[in-house]
Amino acid sequence: MSSISPQEIKQEFFKSKMGITGIIILSTLIAISIIAIITIPIETFQEWNNPENWILYPKVAVPIWVNYFMFDKIPEHRIYENPNVQISSNKELILTSHQFGVNFEYDEFPNDFIYIFSSKYENSPLIEMSVTRPDGIKLDLISMSLPHSNSEIKHNERIFSTDKSIRKNLSLQSEKFSFSFDRLASEDIIFSQLEKNEPLKGNYIFSIDTFSIDNQPKILESKLIIGGKVFGVMGTDELRRDLAIGLLWGTPLALFIGLVVSIASVVAGLLYGVYAGFKGKKTDEVMMRFNDVIYALPALPFLIILSVTISNSIFVLVGFLMVFGWVGIAKVARSMSLQIKTRGYVDAANMMGQKESKIVLKHILPQLLPYAFASIAISVPAAITTEAGLSFLGLGDPSFPTWGQILHDANTFGASSRGLWWWIMPPGIMIAVTGLAFVFIGNALDSIINPKLKR
């Protein structure tokens, strides 16, 4: 192993297909991490466990691209935030009209619709909601007056499609339709053809008219949500969270955990092992006994107890993983340094009276560097899967959406027996792909350092 120079290792490495594949995957992952850090503000992922933040999103929605493979298109979950605003006044009566154009091209009815608004007003404005369908028919949905107030107040309101008065208004207009409204939800009527109860495709216009006298209400927020069953690149989970955000943010977290744990353990193990091997005799004996003790500790039960009793913070967990990570490397580093110690130049340096620390740092450690790099790469996947495993058991840091955490939630909500594949597959594939990248790099390095295995 001492006969290979760094340049040669580099050359050999770029000749190996495995090594290059590993590097390509790793670069992609790093690119994803950078994209995640830049495009998704850090506040978003801190809000991961805050249900308020996800209230507008659909529950367990299938990823959007599924529609490409479907013959019957599933309605997409749409959030309309920028209505077309028209204001007209007739003497003292002021009409503020918000219109949302909804392009509906799906083969199933939407799940529901919600209109969310907040406004500042005096007196008691009247709100009317209606929809103009692609066939030109206008359906009145609801008309309601906001609570009366003499001074200016702020009012928030949500109009749900399940509202009974919408249903009642629709049944008053049932003569336009040639089927019975029995047991049909409002959205199944509004988006239906006249002859039979099947979705009518085309452009719908939802208009919300606010009538007020004397002063114009200030509408602060006005959103229309047409609830669908597909949403986002990666779909959503039971708690309405956008899985794409969790998966993206999981990448830098996994790389952080894997790299920090493996680099720190390899460095610690290397120094420990080399020192023990170099010193020899009693020091070696004592150090190796201690090594044996740590080696024999059952890691997983211990990690579990530690995270339950001390802290489940991700940074503390990284520390615990290091405690169990350095042992094997120390053993190998010791036996390697035992071999190197007997070489002539180390003896020579010793005789010339060089300091111990200098001999270790200058003559022994550099010889072990290729091995160190290979072990760093090889021990990354273990760190990532262990963290994922702990998170999966519900012992991870709940404030960070790691892949293991997502899978834990999936398991808690019985995703696999409910067939929610988009909740289970991507996090696991990400864990495996990240692991593979490092295994490839590690194996490529390993076969250069130990040519015996290369065949």
Partner 1 sequence: MSMKKYILTRIFTMFLVLMITLLITILLVGSNMDTILKQGVVFQVRSEITENPAIAESFSSVEEFEMFVQDQIDQRNKVLGLDEPWFSPQRIGVTMYKILLLDFGHATFLTSDEGSSNVKDIIFEKLPRTILLFTTATIIISIIGIFIGAISANRIGSFIDRATSSFAVISSSFPVWWIGMLMIFLFSFTWQIFPARATPDIPSSDPSYIGSLLYHMTLPLITIVMIGFGSWAYLVRNFMVGIMQEDFIMAKKTIGIKQKKIIYSHALKNAAPPIVTILALSLSGSLGGAIITEAVFDWPGMGRLYFEAITVMDLPVIIGATYILTVFFLISIFIADLLYGYFDPRVRTGA
Whichever of 79 and 432 has its CB closer to partner 1, that residue is 432
Site for partner 1 contains 407 (CB under 8 A): yes
Whichever of 309 and 357 has its CB closer to partner 1, that residue is 309
Q: Which of 336, 388, 441, 445 binds partner 1 (CB under 8 A)?
A: 388
Candidates 102-110, 119-127, 368-376, 447-455: pick the segment binding partner 1 (CB under 8 A): 447-455
Site for partner 1 contains 343 (CB under 8 A): no
Tell me how far, at minimum, the Cβ of 282 lies from partner 1, in Å: 13
Task: Report d(CA 356, CA 340) in Å as an integer.
Answer: 14
Residues in 365-384 at the binding interface with partner 1, rule: CB under 8 A = 381
Candidates 78-86, 152-160, 322-330, 432-440: pick the segment binding partner 1 (CB under 8 A): 432-440
Residues in 281-310 at the binding interface with partner 1, rule: CB under 8 A = 289, 292-293, 296-302, 304-306, 308-310
Tell me how far, at minimum, the Cβ of 31 lies from partner 1, in Å: 20
Task: Report d(CA 263, CA 380) in Å as an integer.
Answer: 9
Whichever of 219 and 431 has its CB closer to partner 1, that residue is 431
Site for partner 1 contains 66 (CB under 8 A): no
Tell me how far, at minimum, the Cβ of 347 lies from partner 1, in Å: 19
Instruction: Please give the angle made by the CA atoms of 55, 160 and 215, to the nearest 5 degrees.
Output: 100
Which 3-state string (H, E, C) describes the chain?
Answer: CCCCCHHHHHHHHHHCHHHHHHHHHHHHHHHHHHHHHHHCCHHHHHCCCCHHHHCCCCCCCECHHHHHHCCCCCCECEEECCCEEEEEEECCEEEEEEEEEEEECCCCCCCEEEEEEEEEEEECCEEEEEEECCCCCEEEEEEEECCCEEEEEEEEEEEECCCHHHHHHHHHCHHHCCCCCCCCCHHHHHCECCCCCCECCEEEEEEEEEEEECCCCEEEEEEEEEECCECCCCCECCCCCEHHHHHHHHHHHHHHHHHHHHHHHHHHHHHHHHHHHHHCHHHHHHHHHHHHHHHHCCHHHHHHHHHHHCCCCHHHHHHHHHHHHHHHHHHHHHHHHHHHHCCHHHHHHHHCCCCHHHHHHHHHHHHHHHHHHHHHHHHHHHHHHHHHHHHHCCCCCCCCCCHHHHHHHHHHCCHHHHCCHHHHHHHHHHHHHHHHHHHHHHHHHHHHHCHHHCC
Cβ count within 10 A of residue 324:
21
Whichever of 133 and 408 has its CB closer to partner 1, that residue is 408
Tell me how far, at minimum, the Cβ of 410 lies from partner 1, in Å: 7
Tell me how far, at minimum, the Cβ of 101 lies from partner 1, in Å: 39
Whichever of 127 and 322 has its CB closer to partner 1, that residue is 322
Site for partner 1 contains 91 (CB under 8 A): no
213 and 94 in contact (C-beta within 8 Å)? yes
Residues 6+ positions from 117 with CB-CB distance below 8 Å: 156, 157, 208, 219, 220, 221, 222, 223
Site for partner 1 contains 393 (CB under 8 A): yes
Tell me how far, at minimum, the Cβ of 304 lies from partner 1, in Å: 6
Candidates 197-205, 212-220, 238-246, 426-434: pick the segment binding partner 1 (CB under 8 A): 426-434
Whichever of 83 and 427 has its CB closer to partner 1, that residue is 427
Tell me how far, at minimum, the Cβ of 24 lies from partner 1, in Å: 16
Whichever of 298 and 344 has its CB closer to partner 1, that residue is 298
Candidates 108-116, 132-140, 182-190, 417-425: pick the segment binding partner 1 (CB under 8 A): 417-425
Site for partner 1 contains 352 (CB under 8 A): no
Of 245, 195, 179, 187, the C-alpha closest to 46 is 245
Whichever of 142 and 336 has its CB closer to partner 1, that residue is 336
Whichever of 256 and 440 has its CB closer to partner 1, that residue is 440
Q: Which of 322, 415, 441, 445 binds partner 1 (CB under 8 A)?
A: 415
Site for partner 1 contains 431 (CB under 8 A): yes
Tell me how far, at minimum, the Cβ of 313 lies from partner 1, in Å: 16
Identify the residue whose tokens are 């290059």.
Answer: 20
Site for partner 1 contains 353 (CB under 8 A): no
Candidates 127-135, 263-271, 311-319, 437-445: pick the segment binding partner 1 (CB under 8 A): 437-445
Q: Which of 440, 444, 445, 449 binds partner 1 (CB under 8 A)?
A: 440
Task: Report d(CA 288, CA 127) in Å as an integer.
Answer: 79
Candidates 48-56, 71-79, 354-362, 385-393: pick the segment binding partner 1 (CB under 8 A): 385-393
Of 303, 308, 314, the C-alpha closest to 400 is 314
Q: Site residues (CB under 8 A) for partner 1?
A: 289, 292-293, 296-302, 304-306, 308-310, 381, 385, 388-389, 392-395, 407, 410-411, 414-419, 421, 424-425, 427-428, 431-432, 435-436, 439-440, 443, 452-453, 455
